[in-house]
Amino acid sequence: MLNVRADISLSPFIDSSRPQQGQYAVSLIRATGLFHSPEHRIVSRFTEDIALLASDSGYTSKTQVIFEVPLDVAMLTRIERDRAGGDLKVKLTFSLLLALHTVNGGFRGFYSGRVEDLLFSIPRSVWVDSILPALGYGGLELLEVRYGSGFLASALPKSVEQISAAKKYLLEGDWDKAVMHCRKALELILDSRPSSLPQPAKFRDRVNTFISENLKTIGEAQAKVLAKQMELLWEVSSHSTHPSPTTFQRSDAEFLVRTTMAIVEYFSRLLP
């Protein structure tokens, strides 16, 4: 539930077409709301029963209500897809159920009311750092990389830290930084053990040397496939494949984060 706090003010009703009738007391009974984000799309509906009475023309009745807006993972995913890294744009509209009473307590009837187009923004930092985690939304379905003990316990967590940073920037809409941390995660695998290869060296040579020196139990065909997967990730995450002014897009970043996670887990199963 996303909690939205609202201040509500209510005044008696004066029927200008029937001045002899005087004023009527007004009861606000219920508010049914629509949560839009972006402004043109409804993503959630919610209802709140309210007990607020306004009977004195010299006094405005006030109350504070916390509306509970249900937002499931599918809704949040749609919101995040359109937010594109910026502030969250929100619009609220309300349908109201009201009742009118005469000054002597007689009931006149039920009436409907509306509150239209309450527009506001939630800053990106508040939405990403505070609200989304509280709603249980992590931005990616894949939240865990499984690794073992020994070498893995001391080396692979460093790659996992880079993946965590990549997911953070993915949530914030910074695709370039998300991709950069994927590249670092790949390098940390290759740097985790001593290499006989003179440095500096090309990434392809580093991969082939690492596999031949540390994965002696896998066959030649499997070694070639693994090396090609690593090289492909490295090439796809290179800025040379996305020349300026074109930068990485969300689809690029999501692909690289998910694939890098799979590679890290794959190495965790292969390494002795």
CATH, residue 96: 2.60.40
Based on the domain organization, do 189 and 258 belong to the same domain?
A: yes
Catalogue the long-range contacts made by 125-128 (C-beta closer than 8 Å, 24 or more residues apart). 127/83, 127/87, 127/88, 128/171, 128/172
179 domain-assigned: yes
pLDDT exceeds cutoff 50 at 192 = yes
Q: Which amino acid is at 255?
A: F
Q: Say yes or no: 196 and 261 in one domain.
A: yes
Residues 161 and 194 in one domain: yes
Same-domain status, 44 and 129: yes
The domain total for the chain is 2
Looking at the structure, do residues 121 and 29 belong to the same domain, yes or no?
yes
Predicted local confidence at residue 5, as pLDDT: 92
Strand 13-14 and strand 23-36: the pairing is antiparallel
- Residue 90: pLDDT band (50, 70, 90) is very high
**pLDDT value at residue 39:** 87
Q: Please report whether residue 165 resides in a domain.
A: yes
Whether 141 maps to a domain, the answer reads no
Final residue in a domain of this structure, among 134, 169, 193: 134
163 located within any domain: yes
Q: Are residues 121 and 222 in the same domain?
A: no
Question: How many helices and strands in the chain, by DSSP H and E?
Answer: 8, 7
Which is nearest to 254 in space by CA: 174, 197, 170, 195?
A: 170
Residue 126 placed within a domain: yes
Q: Are residues 76 and 158 in the same domain?
A: no
Q: What pLDDT, on the 0 to 100 scale, is given for residue 266?
A: 82
Q: Clarify whether residues 225 and 167 are in a common domain.
A: yes
Which of 99, 134, 169 corresponds to the end of one domain?
134
Indicate if 127 and 171 belong to the same structural domain: no
Q: What is the mean pLDDT of residues 4-14?
A: 91
The answer to whether position 144 is within a domain reads no
Q: If pLDDT is split at 50, 70 and 90, which confidence band does 150 have?
A: very low
Last residue of a domain, one of 102, 134, 166: 134
Report whether pLDDT(44) > 80. yes
Task: Give yes or no: residues 122 and 194 share one domain.
Answer: no
Task: Identify the pLDDT of residue 258.
Answer: 87
Gap between the Cα atoms of 170 and 179, Å rounded: 9
The pLDDT confidence band at residue 138, using thresholds 50, 70 and 90, is low
Residues 114 and 232 in one domain: no
Kindly report the CATH number assigned to the domain that includes residue 255. Answer: 1.20.120.330
Q: Are residues 177 and 68 in the same domain?
A: no
**Dist. CA 190–CA 213, nearest whole Å:** 11
Domain with 16 in it: 2-134
